[in-house]
Amino acid sequence: MATKQISRRSILKTGAAGIAAMALPMPFIKAASAADGVVLGAVYVGPRDDFGWNQAHAVAMEILKSTDNVTVIEEENVPETDSVSKSMESMINLDGANLILGTSFGYFEPFMIDLANKYPDVQFRHAAPLWSEDKHPANLGSYFCYLNQAHYVDGVAAGLSTTTNKIGFVAAKPIPTVLSNINSVLLGARSVNPNVEVQVIFTGDWSLPVREAEAANALVDAGCDVLTCHVDGPKVVIETAEGRGVKSCGHNASQAALAPKGFITGAEYKWETIYSMYADMLAKGETLPNVVVGGYHNDMVKNTAYGAGATPEAIAAADAAIAGLKEGKPIYVGPLKDNQGNLVLDKTFDNYDPVLDGMNYLLEGVIGSIT
């Protein structure tokens, strides 16, 4: 009974504050929000220094910390259970967060959907293309970068770096985003070297360091002389490649420091583009877009600065590929067959075509199986 009263009172208070804020004239709001600033709360599923997905987000938030009137609050190692709701609610209730950024796939449903309904005055954005207008609340949204474009560039550089014509790919699970990255590496490599094959090993889960090391070693043993990957923390794969004396391409964040001899380049997110846009818009009192997606054409992905493993030819070809992607040059130039011989893409598709989001095949030229 007592708890009910308190929570009702706090809801009333929040509601009253919201109504009061809306009733105030515009200039006043600006002054008020300038005083309070914008509070961005980011929640990560793993540690901030994982050399991968979480680090990519944390690096972007770190850049925002130096912005005036922007307060960044973060929480790491939050599992995809009801802990995430509570972490986010705590950021709202105790730290006054205006925008909550959920960076792990499983945070969205049901946790962020429920929270968005519960806190209509707070904005929620989630890092995967899951939001849809007719199903989800208006203060919730999605942002996502097509990293496969940067993997395509990896492929171009790798295609000119391999002497055995075999690129090794350590992958977590056979889901569409991973498959698209594998296929993009293949298409990038084949665009400069038609004899290249990509050999893939699925480890079965996002973070299995021992199995990732085994897979990386097995790929080198099978004759691959460039390795790349799509797992949560690419550290193990890149270090194993360096240790075995083969070249490597990174994923998610910069792994250049892990492979001073063999690192070519890597596919990296530029979340800071999205996060600073959100902070700017909130500071100006503008409504945030529900969906933000992008790739090279709008500065949302990048390739890691070339390492010692990149030859001048590879650099030239990769730079040309980046220029092409910025102009919207398509990666999936049809018709394309999968590695079972079935026609899967009958024509050329734009890099953002939704058809590609449901990818469930490996293209011809990839050695491996998704079942």
Partner 1 sequence: MAQAETSFATPPAYDTARIRASIEAVAIPLGALVASAIIFSVFLTLLGKSPLQFFELVWRGGFGSSFSLQNTLQRATPLILTGLAFAIPARIGLVMIGAEGALVIGGFAAAALAIPLVSAEAPVYLTMLLMVLIAMAAGGAWNAIAGWLKHSRGVNETISTLLLTYIAIAIMNFFVEGALRDPASQNKPSTMPIGKDYMVGNIPGTDVHWGLVFGLVLAVALQVLMSRTTFGFAARVTGGNPRAALAQGLPVGTLIVVCSAIAGACAGLAGYFEVAAIHGQANASLVAGYGFTGILVAFLARHNPLMIVPVAIMFGAIEASGGLIQRRMDMPDATALVLQGIIFVVLLASDSLYGRFAIFQPKISTERT
- Alpha-carbon distances of 254 from 40, 55, 58, 304, 305, rounded to whole Å: 24, 9, 12, 6, 9
Backbone angles phi, psi at 268, to 5 degrees: -130, 145
226: helix, strand or coil = strand
175 binds partner 1 (CB under 8 A): yes
Per CB under 8 A, which region of 161-169, 172-180, 210-218, 339-347 contacts partner 1? 172-180
Q: Per-residue x/- mask for partner 1, residues 212 to 231, rule CB under 8 A?
A: --------------------
Q: How far apart are the first and last CA of the chain?
A: 54
Per CB under 8 A, which region of 1-9, 24-32, 61-69, 152-160 contacts partner 1? 1-9
Report the C-alpha gap between 215 and 170 in whole angstroms: 6
Query: Quick check: 71 and 99 in contact, CB under 8 A?
Result: no
Please, what is the minimum distance in Å from the beta carbon of residue 168 to partner 1? Answer: 23
Query: Quick check: 64 and 37 in contact, CB under 8 A?
Result: no
15 binds partner 1 (CB under 8 A): no
82 binds partner 1 (CB under 8 A): yes
According to DSSP, the β-strands at 263-269 and 247-252 are parallel
Amino acid letter, residue 127: A
Nearer residue to partner 1 within complex by CB, 81 or 340: 81
Per CB under 8 A, which region of 18-26, 83-91, 254-262, 298-306 contacts partner 1? 83-91
Query: Quick check: 344 and 187 in contact, CB under 8 A?
Result: no
Query: Quick check: 126 and 141 in contact, CB under 8 A?
Result: yes
Please, what is the minimum distance in Å from the beta carbon of residue 256 to partner 1? Answer: 24
Amino acid letter, residue 114: D
316-345 binders of partner 1 (CB under 8 A): none
Report the C-alpha gap between 226 and 209 in whole angstroms: 19
Per CB under 8 A, which region of 50-58, 168-176, 228-236, 344-352 contacts partner 1? 168-176
Per CB under 8 A, which region of 169-177, 219-227, 307-315, 316-324 contacts partner 1? 169-177
Nearer residue to partner 1 within complex by CB, 30 or 173: 173
* Chain residues that interact with partner 1, rule: CB under 8 A: 1-4, 6-7, 10, 47-48, 73-83, 86-87, 89-91, 93-95, 105-106, 110, 128, 173, 175-177, 204-205, 358
